[in-house]
Structure 1
Amino acid sequence: MTYTLPIRVYYEDTDMGGIVYYANYLKFIERGRSEWVREIGLDQHEMKAEGIVFAVRRVEADYLGSAKLDDELIVVTEVANVTAARLVMEQWVKRGEEVLFHAMVTAVCMNEAGQPVRLPAKVRQLMH
């Protein structure tokens, strides 16, 4: 399953050199994951009411190119692996066919005490 989210680069996204500030790519891919979760029908408010939230445990990121003011970008999100305890997603930020940023993101579920818990079966099912 692949989800794409279009994003435009705004002035606030850039640094003094006029290119996207490196940390903003992490914001872009977060938006991609958040919209993907909505797209598959997962209600994070419902999860929170049940005492479970997602947390990013690990990010491996490669910066491959530079986006600039007014660029139209696409955030591509794909599930790489789902286990009982974690979700690994592969994400790209692209300008046309050019890959500017690539990341592997590992997310886990945590309870209200901040302890890791298994992904609920319903969540795993929606992600396959």
Structure 2
Amino acid sequence: MVHRIEVRVYYEDTDLAGIVYYANYLKFIERARTEWVRGLGIDQGALKRGKGIVFAVRRVEADYLRPAVFDDLLGVTTRLLALGGARIELEQEVWRGEERLFAAKVVLVCMSDAGGPARLPPEVRARLEAG
């Protein structure tokens, strides 16, 4: 399944050349991941409070394919690729209509409050697998 949100490019997202600053694509995909998890019924705040578990980005492989510009309406997609014991692998893309602008493979890890790895709780795993 592919999850999708829309993001509007604001002036603050652009650089001197008038295109989206490269680091802002990481912000766009972060928002999309947050909405994807929320849409699956996973409350990250409650997960931290109740089990002391958070998700952290471990790795991002990013390809910048075409520039987005001020006032573009972008679609940001998230798709689950694989689940491990404490690892979530995702594919995320940014689109302008039918034109793919950005593609990333993102590896998240489940961590304890102490900063070490933590297994995905069974109820979280079930929601991720179902989504």
Give the alignment's Cα RMSD to 1 decimal: 0.6
C-alpha distance in structure 2 between counterparts of 1:87 and 1:120, whole Å: 13
TM-score by length of 1: 0.98
Say if 1:84 and 1:124, in contact at 8 Å, map to a contact too.
no
Q: Deviations over 1:46-75 (max 9, x none)?
A: 110120000000000000000000001000
TM-score by length of 2: 0.96
Q: Deviations over 1:9-59 (max 9, x none)?
A: 000000000000000000000000000011000010111012000000000
Query: Which amino acid counterpart does residue 107 of structure 1 have in structure 2?
Result: L
Say if 1:59 and 1:105, in contact at 8 Å, map to a contact too.
yes
Q: Percent identity?
A: 59
Q: How many positions carry a matched residue from both structures?
A: 128
Aligned partner of 1:44 in structure 2 is 44
Which aligned runs of 4 or more in structure 1 are off by greater than 4 angstroms?
none
- 1:125 CA displacement: 0.6
The runs of 5 or more residues in structure 1 that have no matched partner are: none
Query: Which amino acid counterpart does residue 77 of structure 1 have in structure 2?
Result: T
The runs of 5 or more residues in structure 2 that have no matched partner are: none
Determine helix, strand or coil for the equivalent of 1:55. Answer: strand
C-alpha distance in structure 2 between counterparts of 1:69 and 1:119, whole Å: 39
Aligned partner of 1:62 in structure 2 is 63
